[in-house]
Structure 1
Amino acid sequence: MRIQGRRENRKKRTLFNSLLLLLFILLLPLLSPAGAQPADGVVITEADYQGLQAFKRSLVDPAGVLRSWNDTGLGACLGAWAGIKCVRGQVIAIQLPWRYLGGRLTEEIGQLTALRKLSLHDNLIGGQIPESIGFLPNLRGLYLFSNRFSGSIPASIGNCFALQAIDLSNNLLVGAIPSSVSNSSKLYRLNLSYNNLSGSIPAGIPRSPSLNFLSLNNNNLSGSVSDTWGDDNVTYQLQRLNIDNNSFSGSIPGTLSRLPLLLEITLSNNQFDGRIPEELGSLPKLQRLDLSSNSISGSFPVSFSNLSSLVELRLDNNLIDGRVPESVDGMQNLSIFSMKKNRLTGEIPETVGNLTNLSRLDFSDNEFDGGIPSSLIHLSNLTFFNVSNNNLSGPVPPALAQEFNESSFRGNIQLCGFSPSAPCPSPSPSPNLPPAESPPAQKTHRRRKLSTRDIILIAAGILLAVLLLLCCILLCCLLRKRTAISKKSKDAAAGRGEKPGGPSAGPEVESGGEAGGKLVHFDGPFVFTADDLLCATAEIMGKSTYGTVYKATLEDGHEVAVKRLREKIAKGQREFESEVNLLGKIRHENLLALRAYYLGPKGEKLLVFDYMSKGSLAAFLHARGPDAPINWATRMSIIHGTTRGLHHPNLKPTSSTQTHASRQHPPGPPTAAPTGSPLAAYSPPLMTAAAQLQVVRHAAPSRYRAPSSSKLKKANTKTDVYSLGVIFLELLTGKSPGETTNGADLPQWVASIVKEEWTNEVFDLELMREVEGNVGDELLNTLKLALHCVDPSPAARPEVGDVLQQLQEIKPDPGGSTDGGGAEPGKE
């Protein structure tokens, strides 16, 4: 028994000692200094721990992001401290973007000697950038953009010889750019834009062979730009140079031609003078050249015909004179060609018509003479065209006159045929020749024989009188018919006890008539007959897979939009009428009202809508002048309107529908309530199932279409959401989906920029000027939502209703509701 008792005591002591040892191991980190670390190096070093605590104390953290930094350092390198990454107990990265952090940066950040990346962009941090940044020898990435840093850029930054990327843009920095900023032989990205920096560009920057991206735009920099770029013996890496909106003067440096990888040169809104260097025509990869709004003189460089990769050329608002060379068609990929407000003379070259990728051509406010080349009608991608205020003469090619309004041609006194107020004169008849060998005696005794011209004039007078008489008769008939229809409508409404034309009155049917067929009216501001519609003056607004859209001007001056559906893809008459009568009841602030439809005796089908005279979203965004900015409130209103239009419960849009919708009938000027929905939104319900499938699978390539849409067996809402996301990105970036570079579409380009933490470069420059208070948050949240909508995986995209709900959370729209349904069917 005694032996057994001793054994039990021994077991108890062993168990107690084991528990005591385990407790000691657990408490060891708390009993030892923070710097004491085990062999695996998980515990943070004392210097880094103290540096992070000072960093936390110097910041204002209203969102409580740094609340996790609350232990003795055990969790810092175990992933428990937000935004911290470690290696062997030393901090190598602090990443806290978009966290609403305020306050300032402490000088003690210099204690984090292993730090490689400091990313605090899109916060509210102010004060000076610490000089101790220069004590971080391993620093590779410094991302402090979109904050409120003030003071000068510390010269000590030149001690960080491992730096690869510096982005201090969109702050309040002043003073000169330190010459030491280019000391690192690995620096590939330098962005100091949107500050108040002054002085000139340090001499070392043009000589930096590793530099890939240089953006100094929107500062107060001045002086001449050094002509020491590149070296013939070294391949320089610079691809993008942006120094616009400064006060640089002198000549454009010709040594930029030594940078063979250049994709973009933007020098606009400065004070450059002299000639454009011919050497720039030797840049094989140049895609964008913007020298606008300077004082550049001389002639258009002939060497530019070698720029076969050029997509955008802006030389407007300068003093360039002489002729545009015939070899201009060498710029075969050119999409934007803007030469307005110069002193160019001579004729517009016929070869401009060979630039088949052109979407924007602006030769306005020059001294061009001669006619408009007929070759320009081949520019099928042209969405903006302006040759106003020149000395052009002769007739405008009919195709251009139909496509563009008279503002594109006005200011050319001798130009004709572009509007009813500027008709071209009829050709003069050939003069009448006197009969040969006519005896003089007969001339004195015979009355003068009527000439051919006299006969033509008499016949024309008789014909005119007959036409006037016929017009009077026709007018009387139409007035009688309209009076009879109006009386019939009133009598019918009176019999039902309702007001004619009200929403509850139902469709009004007119059968027969001089044109035959069947016209069905829904409620609307005015009534017209089938003959009125078919005899209206019409011009083509656009064509799509569903049919052709016309702007029709009725005899009484009212304007309507008429869509003629393709006969082979529309449903049969009975099914068509069933669907169209439902569509005619829809009334929604973001959908065009369907006012009537017409079924012709030979099977033709016409849809009649309100005409929107305010132009397209493309023109609204991309064809406006610099003095017509679009603020964030207006763009957000367009986003809300487009989403609500797509979310209407009575519509069944497809992927190609939303694209056509948002482009064809967008909002008006900033003061007007946007209307984001199109004629095309009504088309799919009226098409056969087979036709809808063909449209989705064989539609022409579009930057708005989801990449997978051509593989679908039927349309679905996820492809619509993708198109919606592209429109969001277009409004956020100010870029047309076809403008991006390196072959990437707009969603791919935005995603790549965001991935590299260069988010501020995504947004339109106009919007960046508004980044104050809640606007910055709204921009970022809308950007995240847009990227969610264009997710490559259809299953990952949200539903339209979810998009609308999130938009309301980002910025409530006082004119809309979260359900997206708008007014009930049949009600305004």
Structure 2
Amino acid sequence: MEREGSRHDRARLPLFFLLLLAAGAGAHSRGAEWDGVVVTQADYQALRAIKHDLVDSLGVLRSWNDSGFGACSGGWAGIKCVKGQVIAVQLPWKGLGGRISEKIGQLQALRKLSLHDNHLTGAVPFSLGFLPYLRGVYLFNNRLSGTIPPSIGNCPLLQALDLSNNLLSGTIPPSLANSTKLLRLNLSFNTISGSIPSVVSRSASIAILALDHNNISGPIPASITKLGTLQILSLSHNQIGGTIPSDIGELSQLEELDLSFNAINGSLPSSLFNMSSLAVLDLEGNRLDGGIPENLSVLRNLSELNLKNNHLKGPIPSSIGNISSIDRLDLSENNFTGQIPASLVNLPNLTSFNVSYNNLSGAVPTDLSRRFNSSSFVGNLQLCGFSTSTPCPTNSPPPQAPPPSAGPSSRRRRHLSTKDIVLIAAGILLAILLLLCLVLLCCLIKKRAASKKKNGKPEKAGGGGISEKATASREVESSDIGGKLVHFDGPFVFTADDLLCATAEIMGKSAYGTAYKATLEDGNQVAVKRLREKMTKGQKEFEAEAGALGRIRHPNLLALRAYYLGPKGEKLLVFDYMAMGSLASFLHARGPETTVDWPTRMSIAVGVSRGLHHLHTQENIVHGNLTSTNILLDQRTVPHIADYGLSRLMTSSASTTVVATAGAIGYAAPELAKTKKPTAKTDVYSLGVVFLELLTGKSPSEGPNGEDLPQWVASIVKEEWTNEVFDLELMRETPTIGDELLNTLKLALHCVDPSPAARPDVEQVLRQLEEIKPEVAAGAKDDEPTEESPDE
């Protein structure tokens, strides 16, 4: 009966389509041209085999029916045809698992294969090399393993091959040299080994060559400099050695050169600085020595120069000041000597600058010390003027030469003068006064502690204090070996005793430690984070880093107001208390009667972007774990980013643990799974997820069928059901916000692009937000609280 029903269902189709179906079968048998509505029998069989090997958990391939009807007329998802032959299979972001069938080689007219951002396993099909018209292969962001099939070099029209972010191993097949029309080759984020084949450089048209984050070794082939059309060369995070080819300057169209984190040695070729189109030059983490060539004025488009962590020496060329386009300059952790050139103050776009840990000397140019904090200059023992603790010596007359003789007559001239005696006596008197003050202070502290004990001061409710160790330390603090409380600025002052006697309520736990809401005896409230003791650095390093964090101030960053070091190793950080809690609870834990309108959400997005922009450009800090949980709101819903810079207080192994934890909650960029190293671009990815939360009202773990939020949103947008993405609350508002929602959604999807290079930086994000809704952006800026009154 079921078969009869199926036959009747087909009979009820319009006669026109039934005739086309019949005509199609006859045409295939005769080898005639098709009209593009019915797929050929060979391609139909290939597609059925492809479907059989895929795991379709979302039902995307439900439209691939048994009859083949509709395959070439838009009825089959992801299939495009010409004259009945499949020319494109495009199914990205569909949650597909399983393997790619070798039967794909039967689609003889196939031009494009796009299955990126799925969960595919197995090997890259060898049969791809049997497709003479294949132009684009996009299989990135899957779990493909095995080696790159050498047969891929048999595709003479291949223009793009992107297999990045998979589990591929083996070497780069030399046969790729046969793909002379190749424009883009991206094999990054795999475990590919061996050397870079010199034959790869035979592709005269290649514009993008990305082999970063692999295990590639050997030198950079000299023949790579013959790629005259190359625009991006990314070889970072490999094991490449040798020197930079001396004639690399022949790459006249190169815009981005990233050789960071390799074992490259030798000096910087002078031709490297002759490329007028170069915008990004990143050589961090190598073994380069020698100096920087003096004449750098040819680099008129350079925006980022990163030479960090090498063995470079000599002076910093003053000609760097001629590169007006530069906005990021990092020369830290080298052996540079001499003074910082005054010409650097003439760089109008400079937003990130670091010369720390060199052998520089002299005074820091005043304009640079004003624009950048002390972390940009530390580690240069003879450098001065970059902070109040490193003043430059005032001009004074040179010291008088000592007497030429040391005989008896000169000894007689060494008797103390009356002035010397008066000064010595005054110094002794001052020391005695200071000692008396210290004794008096100790007596007052002991008297206060005894008074509290005598009055029977009770323990507070809600846990009895910050912790058992902190409570026990109150007795010790009263003695001469008590804990240490260091205050920064803030709306009110408290003692260590006030802090440790405060009523404490646990607000939450994270990889860094436990957070408390502490109510002081006078009723004021602060937030206290008790760090995990075994995860923090030693006391000396901890105090230095905490001191730097305590000086950071921005209206959208949670201010560190004080820290406490207990006698038994306890470490407490004290912050402003935010009355509205986290953005996560504000969005996802509110009652149905509470609504959050679009201007509020937009002002939060702008505020978070401003805070992150300040961290990246002014403090040189990558957050590494930006989530809606650590974005806190004050009573005016102004956002304050928390937990920034805490990795600097932790050991390196503890920081790695935090990154791993972040990856489990939906905010981590895909590359973090392999690199374990947060960057500004991974922060942008997390920011994009926060934007999607504001737009959809969903948390990152709420995507249907196990999808993460970016993947779910992208799949809905791909199917052109964009309105289903937005929170219903927003859709009920005035229709005029429609364009603003769409533009913000586009920006969010741009931020969560799987490719780090494709994501904008925070400055671009902020600029676009301000263009989308300038009045809200301006209002968010006007409503920001001042540092004197962080939260009413």
TM-score, scaled to structure 1: 0.57
Displacement of 1:308 in angstroms is 4.8
CA contact (8 A) 1:34 1:72 kept: no
2:698 — aligned with what? none
For 1:346-745, list aligned pairs within 5 A: 346-351=338-343, 357-364=350-357, 366=358, 368=359, 370-371=361-362, 373=364, 375=366, 378-382=369-373, 384-385=375-376, 387-388=378-379, 392-393=381-382, 397-399=386-388, 401=389, 450-473=417-440, 476-477=443-444, 480=447, 490=457, 499=458, 501-502=460-461, 538-539=487-488, 554=495, 588-589=507-508, 593=517, 595-596=519-520, 609-610=527-528, 643-644=584-585, 655=604, 658=608, 677=630, 681-682=633-634, 684=636, 734-736=678-680
In structure 1, C-alpha distance between the alignment counterparts of 2:716 and 2:445, rounded to whole Å: 53
CA contact (8 A) 1:225 1:248 kept: yes
1:87 — aligned with what? 82
In the alignment, does 2:82 pair up with 1:158?
Answer: no
**TM-aligned CA distance change 1:341 to 1:104, over 3 Å:** same
Deviations 1:547-606 (A, max 9, x none): x789x7857797999xxxxxxxxxxxxxxxxxxxxxx9997338773645989xxxxxx9
- Secondary structure of 1:47's match? helix
Total equivalences in the alignment: 591
Match of 2:248 among 241, 256, 259: 256
In structure 1, C-alpha distance between the alignment counterparts of 2:383 and 2:288, rounded to whole Å: 31
Deviations 1:380-401 (A, max 9, x none): 255843633x5x23766434x5
- Secondary structure of 1:593's match? strand
Displacement of 1:360 in angstroms is 4.9
Displacement of 1:143 in angstroms is 0.9
CA contact (8 A) 1:140 1:163 kept: yes
**TM-aligned CA distance change 1:607 to 1:30, over 3 Å:** closer
Match of 1:276 among 268, 273, 282: 268
Amino acid at match of 2:633: A
Amino acid at match of 1:325: P
Match of 2:110 among 115, 121, 125: 115
2:292 — aligned with what? 300
Displacement of 1:45 in angstroms is 1.7
In structure 2, C-alpha distance between the alignment counterparts of 1:645 and 1:731, rounded to whole Å: 29
TM-score, scaled to structure 2: 0.59
Deviations 1:585-641 (A, max 9, x none): 997338773645989xxxxxx97554788866999xxxxxxxxxxxxxxxxxxxx97
1:168 — aligned with what? 163
CA contact (8 A) 1:358 1:382 kept: no
Greater relative CO (CA pairs within 8 A, separation 6+)? 2
Match of 1:324 among 316, 324, 340: 316
**TM-aligned CA distance change 1:71 to 1:646, over 3 Å:** closer
Amino acid at match of 2:240: F
**TM-aligned CA distance change 1:484 to 1:34, over 3 Å:** farther
**TM-aligned CA distance change 1:777 to 1:308, over 3 Å:** farther
**TM-aligned CA distance change 1:33 to 1:341, over 3 Å:** same
Match of 2:132 among 132, 137, 150: 137
In structure 1, C-alpha distance between the alignment counterparts of 2:491 and 2:587, rounded to whole Å: 20
**TM-aligned CA distance change 1:306 to 1:553, over 3 Å:** farther
CA contact (8 A) 1:94 1:119 kept: yes
In structure 1, C-alpha distance between the alignment counterparts of 2:230 and 2:307, rounded to whole Å: 22
CA contact (8 A) 2:261 2:286 kept: yes
Displacement of 1:226 in angstroms is 3.0
1:623 — aligned with what? none
- Give ranges in structure 2 of 5+ residues lacking alignment: 1-10, 404-408, 465-470, 478-484, 510-514, 537-545, 553-580, 641-664, 693-703, 718-724, 728-736, 746-792
1:51 — aligned with what? 46
1:822 — aligned with what? none
Q: CA RMSD in A?
A: 6.0
CA contact (8 A) 2:94 2:715 kept: no
For 1:173-252, list aligned pairs within 5 A: 173-184=168-179, 186-229=181-224, 236-252=228-244
**TM-aligned CA distance change 1:376 to 1:785, over 3 Å:** farther
In structure 1, C-alpha distance between the alignment counterparts of 2:108 and 2:234, rounded to whole Å: 33
In structure 1, C-alpha distance between the alignment counterparts of 2:397 and 2:529, rounded to whole Å: 39
CA contact (8 A) 2:155 2:179 kept: yes
Amino acid at match of 2:584: T
Larger radius of gyration: 1
2:771 — aligned with what? none
Displacement of 1:358 in angstroms is 4.3
Displacement of 1:292 in angstroms is 2.9
**TM-aligned CA distance change 1:309 to 1:59, over 3 Å:** same
- Secondary structure of 2:273's match? helix
CA contact (8 A) 1:166 1:189 kept: yes
Displacement of 1:46 in angstroms is 1.9
Displacement of 1:215 in angstroms is 0.5
**TM-aligned CA distance change 1:674 to 1:266, over 3 Å:** closer
**TM-aligned CA distance change 1:228 to 1:648, over 3 Å:** same
**TM-aligned CA distance change 1:379 to 1:182, over 3 Å:** farther
CA contact (8 A) 2:262 2:285 kept: yes
- Secondary structure of 1:398's match? coil
CA contact (8 A) 1:560 1:611 kept: no
Displacement of 1:167 in angstroms is 0.5
**TM-aligned CA distance change 1:746 to 1:379, over 3 Å:** farther
CA contact (8 A) 1:117 1:140 kept: yes
In structure 2, C-alpha distance between the alignment counterparts of 1:417 and 1:559, rounded to whole Å: 36
- Give ranges in structure 1 of 5+ residues lacking alignment: 1-19, 402-415, 419-423, 435-439, 491-498, 506-522, 529-535, 541-547, 562-583, 600-605, 620-639, 686-691, 700-724, 752-773, 800-828
Deviations 1:699-727 (A, max 9, x none): 9xxxxxxxxxxxxxxxxxxxxxxxxx998
1:8 — aligned with what? none
2:777 — aligned with what? none
In structure 1, C-alpha distance between the alignment counterparts of 2:173 and 2:670, rounded to whole Å: 36
In structure 1, C-alpha distance between the alignment counterparts of 2:90 and 2:382, rounded to whole Å: 63
Amino acid at match of 2:680: S
**TM-aligned CA distance change 1:156 to 1:610, over 3 Å:** closer
Deviations 1:524-558 (A, max 9, x none): 99899xxxxxxx97545xxxxxxx789x7857797
In structure 2, C-alpha distance between the alignment counterparts of 1:143 and 1:225, rounded to whole Å: 26
In structure 1, C-alpha distance between the alignment counterparts of 2:497 and 2:363, rounded to whole Å: 33
CA contact (8 A) 1:58 1:103 kept: yes
In structure 1, C-alpha distance between the alignment counterparts of 2:528 and 2:12, rounded to whole Å: 85
**TM-aligned CA distance change 1:789 to 1:456, over 3 Å:** farther
Amino acid at match of 1:457: I
Among the aligned pairs, what percent are the same residue?
34
In structure 1, C-alpha distance between the alignment counterparts of 2:715 and 2:156, rounded to whole Å: 38
In structure 1, C-alpha distance between the alignment counterparts of 2:22 and 2:530, rounded to whole Å: 76
- Secondary structure of 1:42's match? coil
CA contact (8 A) 1:359 1:384 kept: no
CA contact (8 A) 1:358 1:379 kept: no
